[in-house]
Amino acid sequence: MSGSDNLMILPSTDKTRIRLVRIPPDYRDQEVYRHVTGLIARVEEQSPDFDWEEILAVLEDHGFEPVEFQLGPSLD
């Protein structure tokens, strides 16, 4: 991972389902949130019992990459 990587956290109330993805360089900050929201909504619409692998496949089709991370302790 280089210092110029642009990353997005995909939060979840279940901490085991939090994901981190690398944003492709051709996305601007203003549009990436809306675009990812739309992609996830499309998966939810097509497959109500969706899982992370289905979402990841769609994100990867659009140039996003999963990033491994370690979740630290809570700050609150």
pLDDT of residue 76: 81
Residue 38, pLDDT above cutoff 60: yes
pLDDT of residue 4: 59
CB distance 20 to 69 below 8 Å: yes
Residue 34 has pLDDT above 70, yes or no: yes
pLDDT score at 74: 83
* DSSP code at position 42: H
Mean pLDDT over each residue of the chain, to the nearest integer: 91
Q: Give me the pLDDT at residue 9, please.
A: 95
- pTM of the full structure: 0.83
